[in-house]
Structure 1
Amino acid sequence: MAVAKESPATPSTFARVGLVMYLLLIVYASLFPFTGWRDNGIAPQAFLSGPLPHYWTVFDVLTNVVGYVPFGILVAFAVYPHVRGMGAILLALVAGTLLSGSMEAAQTFLPSRVSSILDLYTNVSGSLIGGIAGVLLTPTFLEQSRFLSLRRHWFFHDAGRGLIVASLWPLAQIYPQAYLFGHGQIVPILSEWLSDWLEQPVDLFTSLQNNIDFTVEQYWLAETIITACGMAGAVLLLLVTLKPAAPRAWLAWALVGATLILKSLANALLFNPANAFSWLTPGAQGGLLFAAAMLFGLSFAPQVAQRRIAVLMLLISLIVVNLMPSNPYFMATLQSWVQGKFLNFNGAARFLSVMWPFFAFWYLLHPSHRVKRT
């Protein structure tokens, strides 16, 4: 009797792309806010021989540990099947040590950040925990399993990149935004960079708006457009990754539901419970309804059309969110949050909010879509 041969182990594109994105996230979070660089006469490696900080909290320690756990997991997944077991754990440990040490050394030149040997210890611990978890989870996620079988049944073989981008969309809601799903607001960042470079205040918002005074109705219309286009683009991106056999409607609305729940929880935790649903403005309500109507029809469109329309929707949202000013209430709310002490967390959240549309464009315009999908 013939014995069926097991499929050979293959590298995970999902893990490797995820590792690169998470690496960028750590770098941005560690070096946020990227302003005020200067040489204060302290050697970059001085923190290695420095004392432990006099003031620290359990929250800070746990955040530093937990922040590097996904990095360790992704390292173990990314090197599979070439490196496994103890080798993958050691590689995650070394990678975490080098990354954390580099970030702490770079923080020496940022007056708003403080390099600490405690941060290195906690980050390395997180990488080690992640490496161990990654090795233990490898059979479930990367080898023959019901989970992997389900993924192959529901998603195209090249869907790993898209799944990562889609899974980052709910997390991008954590950072306070002037408009619901208003990601990619790069004009304020460019204004800050130009101000530092030219050593004088630069306000690109004012230049782009040409001193136009927007009415309340125009603000509502802008938020409706941003919300509708942002939601439609994100859901269409997910649909592009799905095979016809997948429960497309269920997965799409699960993504939207998880995103809105996380948005509400973030508002409640970062500000107060009374602000949990502050995002549900009249403009956002209209945008959600318009997006639902568009998606009902577009869900039946060919995948090529869905991909192109997703690019168009996200591009419209990106343009409008960078042309419209933020209302004074939102700016006051954002100021009270950004001045908090959790700069790493603030920087990571801002990074996701700003960069998510560009991750989406990268996936939707990737050359792999020109090849016949299976």
Structure 2
Amino acid sequence: MVAPVPAASAAPAASSFARVSLLVYTLLIVYASWYPFSGWRDMGLGPFDYLGARLPYYWTGFDVWTNVAGYAPLGALLVLAMYPRLRPLWAIWPATAVGVLLSASMEAVQTWLPTRVPSNLDLITNSAGVFLGAVLGALSSRYFLRESRFLAMRRRWFSGEASRGLAVAGLWPLALIYPQNHLFGMGHLVPPLSSFFSDLFDTPIDLATTWINNAQLSAEQYWLADVIVTACGLTGAALLFLMLLRRQAPRRRLVLLYLLACIAVKSLACALFFAPQNAFVWVSPSAAGGIMLGAMMVAGLSFAPPTAQRRVAALALILSLAATNAVPANPYYISTLETWVQGKFLNFDGAAQFLSVLWPFLAIWFLYHPVHRKQK
């Protein structure tokens, strides 16, 4: 029996998708602004002394546009999240004020980070990005907050409680940007824990090196681990997305499109951060085997009830998470990180790593959320 599509409510409704996305994006900004979270110390400066300092002598157009582009989504999400308490056009200035305060706070805390430099130019460009994003969010709100073809398609194809899931599913391709030990194997806690314990005990601690020295695997074992992690990661993410779709939606085509979009983002990131000829450097026999195995699992489970899909998705992500942290890092992965281009992308590198670690936990939280009892 096909579940009925809910009728549009007469009263304007808040966007859960916008609010969840706003929360996650704010966490990404915080992480990117304070990365690498090490070496905290008092350098005798006030947190807001940077406001009265001269503008930096050395800056590039890349720095300016990166700051504008980084904060523009924040402004748009703030406007969309304030609806219906504030109409989009009225929300532009409050959204801009919130974004400016957030940026000023991020710069102020950098005063205690020796690897970061608080900058009034960054505050100006971030503020410009928030304002631009808020204006764009207000102008485009009719496509997302009111009756439109986009919302009609959303109601026709996706369940009524899919907003949180769409936010989580939309973050998966972005989480894939940072190099992983295994394709689709996210939640690698060893590097951030090594940094945390190093700062806590004021002694360099490399948990990855310790683990590698104590547990070496053969090439065949690495190959098998890569297949398992890749298959489980793909299965968990694809089933999570599949659960959001109604029976009358073109489910298989949408899942296939979703997976192809994720692979395209991964390839584009490899081309950008390594070299254009390395766009498909992530392709390996073990990764291809994991993709094939995961695709077969998803194809078979597409006929299963939502409850079974939820349980298998959660189990697959838990297995992927456990294997990712239990299997020693592949030496090839370590050499890949050494060639990972940071430089001007230091902020982006921190946010990408944070999202790569966070995503499986966010997905598992969503899969065990009681809202699934209401989904049809």
Q: Using the TM superposition, name which of 32-41 and 84-93 deviates more.
A: 84-93
Give runs of aligned pairs for residues 212-251 of structure 1, distance below 5 A.
212-251=215-254
The 1-side partners of 2:216 and 2:88 are apart by: 62
Q: What amino acid does structure 1 have at the position aligned with 2:345?
A: F
Q: What amino acid does structure 1 have at the position aligned with 2:334?
A: M
Is 1:106 the counterpart of 2:109 in the alignment?
A: yes
The 2-side partners of 1:55 and 1:324 are apart by: 44
Q: Given that residues 205 and 323 in structure 1 are in contact (C-alpha distance below 8 angstroms), is that contact kept between their aligned partners in structure 2?
A: no
Give the secondary-structure state (helix, strand or coil) at the position aligned to 1:191.
Answer: helix
Partner in structure 1 of residue 86 of structure 2 = 83
Q: Given that residues 162 and 237 in structure 1 are in contact (C-alpha distance below 8 angstroms), is that contact kept between their aligned partners in structure 2?
A: yes
Post-superposition shift, 1:279? 0.5
Post-superposition shift, 1:212? 2.1
Partner in structure 1 of residue 375 of structure 2 = 373
Post-superposition shift, 1:216? 0.5
Partner in structure 2 of residue 173 of structure 1 = 176
Give the secondary-structure state (helix, strand or coil) at the position aligned to 1:289.
Answer: helix
Identity %, equivalent residues? 54
Q: Given that residues 179 and 227 in structure 1 are in contact (C-alpha distance below 8 angstroms), is that contact kept between their aligned partners in structure 2?
A: yes
Post-superposition shift, 1:6? 7.2
TM-score by length of 1: 0.95
Is 1:194 the counterpart of 2:197 in the alignment?
A: yes
Partner in structure 2 of residue 159 of structure 1 = 162
Partner in structure 2 of residue 92 of structure 1 = 95
Q: Using the TM superposition, name which of 179-188 and 97-106 deviates more.
A: 179-188
* Aligned CA-pair RMSD: 1.7
Call closer, same or farther: CA 1:6–1:373 in 2, change over 3 Å.
Answer: closer
Instruction: Find 1:351's aligned residue among 350, 354, 361.
Output: 354
Give the secondary-structure state (helix, strand or coil) at the position aligned to 2:340.
Answer: helix
TM-score by length of 2: 0.95
Q: Given that residues 75 and 131 in structure 2 are in contact (C-alpha distance below 8 angstroms), is that contact kept between their aligned partners in structure 1?
A: yes
The 1-side partners of 2:15 and 2:337 are apart by: 38
Q: What amino acid does structure 2 have at the position aligned with 1:336?
A: T
The 1-side partners of 2:9 and 2:202 are apart by: 63
Give the secondary-structure state (helix, strand or coil) at the position aligned to 1:54.
Answer: coil
Mind listing any 5+ residue stretches in structure 1 that lack a counterpart?
Answer: none
Call closer, same or farther: CA 1:211–1:182 in 2, change over 3 Å.
Answer: same
Partner in structure 1 of residue 64 of structure 2 = 61
The 2-side partners of 1:292 and 1:86 are apart by: 45
The 2-side partners of 1:6 and 1:361 are apart by: 31
Mind listing any 5+ residue stretches in structure 2 that lack a counterpart?
Answer: 1-6
Is 1:147 the counterpart of 2:157 in the alignment?
A: no
Post-superposition shift, 1:206? 5.6
Give runs of aligned pairs for residues 1-374 of structure 1, distance below 5 A.
7-205=10-208, 211-337=214-340, 339-370=342-373, 372-373=374-375
How many residues in Structure 1 have an aligned counterpart in Structure 2?
Answer: 370
Post-superposition shift, 1:207? 5.8
Q: What amino acid does structure 2 have at the position aligned with 1:189?
A: P
Q: Given that residues 208 and 329 in structure 2 are in contact (C-alpha distance below 8 angstroms), is that contact kept between their aligned partners in structure 1?
A: no
